[in-house]
Amino acid sequence: MSSYLWPRPLRPGGVIGICSPAGAAPAGEVERGAAALRRRGYTVIVAPNATATHPECNYLAGTEVQRLADLNELIHNPEIDCILTARGGYGSGKLLDGIDYAAFRTDPKTLVGYSDITALNLALAAHGVISYSGIMATSGDGFGENTLDPFSEASFFQAVRQENFVFAQPDDAPLTVHRGGTSVAGRLVPVCLSLLESLASTKYVPDLTGALLLIEDVTEELYAVDRALTQLRLSGVLGKLNGLLIGSFNGWKDERDEILAQHVPRLALELTPESVAVVSGFVYGHIPRRFTLPMGAQATVDCDTGQLFIARP
């Protein structure tokens, strides 16, 4: 897709719709997230099945029919400025063949989520619409939790309001260039790696030629990261990139986190050709302090300053 549509910015006092395309949210979390956004001056509409649980699969927020109906209803509602997903988990990929992409392109609106929501981000990008990989309404240190980090909240609103297109790494989080020069440019594709792996070679992944692929994941052993990157190499994805950017690989809270931090860059160097820049240290992933970033936007990374410049719509 050579031309991408930007969603309209989230206006002050705008309307946010919350839905649960993937996992079931714990009791009360959706309501806490909605209340937190209302305190910030937004009108919030909670989709009918946002707090549902699948009758047979308790890892899903309602049936596929319910979850898809909620998502498409928010897509079709002209009053909605932003679709904010409640949480990740699992299940977004099961909805991809039922989303009304034509309606989304006719009235592109902000959609935000990460982790399992990467499936929706990728599918929208494959249909030429930019969405956002970022904090959610409930889990993952989102709006409904007292662990919401000020940097993460500021990055979320910076992204969805489209008021500032320069995203800066925190001063205490410098980037590390493993290969490449002082800058690298391309179409930014921030993903949870295991979700990209699950959709590779399907029509729900955009063309990654010349892309800046920013990867992260949580509670994945090193061998699983190796397997995912090897699959992307064998399918020809990694060889097309301008840059492979590395966010956080974590979640174990033991020596495995240190092993991942050391060896994921090594794997990236081993599995990509010399023409692909490899840069690590991005504050992106399943971490409290994280960027919200547009999926599919043209971007340039200044590796010296740690600034990520997004081309304006």
State pLDDT tens for residues 262-298: 999 999 999 999 999 999 999 999 999 999 999 999 9
Residue 1 confidence (pLDDT): 54
Is residue 201 annotated as part of the catalytic site, yes or no? no
- pLDDT band for 61, please (50, 70, 90 cuts): very high
Residue 3 confidence (pLDDT): 81
Task: Say which of 131, 145, 155, 286 is annotated catalytic.
Answer: 286
pLDDT, average across residues 11-36: 94
**Is the pLDDT confidence value at 248 over 90?**
yes
Beta-carbon contacts of residue 261 (< 8 Å; ≥ 6 apart): 249, 250
Other Cβ atoms within 10 Å of 41 Cβ, number: 9
pLDDT, average across residues 232-260: 97
Residue 80 confidence (pLDDT): 98
Find the farthest-apart pair of alpha carbons in the chain and give their distance in angstroms, rounded: 53
Task: Say which of 29, 31, 216, 220 is annotated catalytic.
Answer: 216
Is residue 216 annotated as part of the catalytic site, yes or no? yes
**Phi then psi for 122, rounded to 5 degrees?**
-65, -45
Task: Say which of 20, 92, 115, 133 is annotated catalytic.
Answer: 115
H/E stretch holding 190 reads strand 183-192
- pLDDT band for 313, please (50, 70, 90 cuts): confident
Residue type, 275: S
- pLDDT band for 140, please (50, 70, 90 cuts): confident
Beta-carbon contacts of residue 196 (< 8 Å; ≥ 6 apart): 118, 122, 205, 213, 215, 228, 232
**Is the pLDDT confidence value at 2 over 90?**
no
pLDDT, average across residues 13-40: 95
Whole-structure pTM value = 0.97
**Tokens describing residue 270:** 């081993």
All domains of the chain in start order, with CATH: 15-161 (3.40.50.10740), 166-310 (3.50.30.60)
Residue with tokens 């809270």: 253
Using one digit for the tens of pLDDT, what is the confidence trace for 169-195?
A: 999 999 999 999 999 999 999 999 999
